Amino acid sequence: MVTRKRPTGPYDARVAVYPGSFDPLTNGHLDIIERGTRMFDRVIVAVLVNASKDPLFSVDERVTMARDAVRGLDGAEVDTFEGLLVDYVARARAGVVVRGLRAISDFEYEYQMALMNRRLNDQVETVFMMPAEQYVYISSRLVKEVCMLGGNVSGLVPAAVEQRLVAKRAAMAAHAGE
Ligand code: PNS
């Protein structure tokens, strides 16, 4: 029998980068991170530093919330990145990018990004993961909108994130009343 060696890339396939804006991190993100740590030795939650997206939370706030959320979860860590994702992934020597897929509507954008990233660096594989059903409809954008309009977001985000969202709402209301 002819045996062929498995091709290995220059990066570590046991290390995954989970990139995003995380503005803020939701329980859906956390679910993907937890699932990721069962598949990979390390999951680096990589928070995008990008002023052009006009985030509600500063990068420091987003990182603090993410660190809080993954505290005690073996294999999960939080970092920031600027510039091209594939460049960050290569610097981290990670072989995999993890992205969550909630619904078909996510697919087109995610597929485009995955193929563009592959064109930029074909040694990096994108792996799509599905969150638990109860998180399928959650997005950072909706959570922010609901909370800022006075809705209850408990159960949709970690408790520490909820506290910060409520504080942000109060600060914005106070500012508007000045
Ligand atoms: O949580 P988001 O906003 O959907 O995450 C999008 C993110 C951060 C993964 C994407 O915007 C990104 O990778 N930005 C870095 C710049 C880059 O590499 N752009 C080309 C992607 S094909």
Name the residue with tokens 């699932």.
35
| pLDDT attached to residue 51 | 63
- Out of 18, 21, 49, 140, mutate this one to test ligand 1's pocket (max ligand atoms within 8 Å of CB): namely 21
CA distance 2 to 17: 35
The protein residue with its alpha carbon nearest to ligand 1, atom 3, reads: 21
What's the pLDDT band for 175 if we cut at 50, 70, 90? confident
Q: Which of 23, 51, 16, 46 is nearest to 157 (CA)?
A: 23
Question: pTM score, two decimals?
Answer: 0.95
Active-site residue 140, yes or no? yes
The protein residue with its alpha carbon nearest to ligand 1, atom 16, reads: 84
pLDDT (tens digit per residue) in 83-134: 999 999 999 999 999 999 998 889 999 999 999 999 999 999 999 999 999 9
Distances 42 to 21, 29, 77, 93, 106 between C-alpha atoms, Å: 19, 16, 8, 11, 25
Q: Which of 50, 30, 46, 37 is nearest to 161 (CA)?
A: 30
Domain residue ranges in the chain? 12-136
Could you tell me which CATH number the domain at 12-136 has?
3.40.50.620
| Statement: residue 151 has pLDDT above 90 | yes
CA distance 42 to 116: 24
Tokens representing residue 158 in the block: 């970690």
| Statement: residue 7 has pLDDT above 90 | no
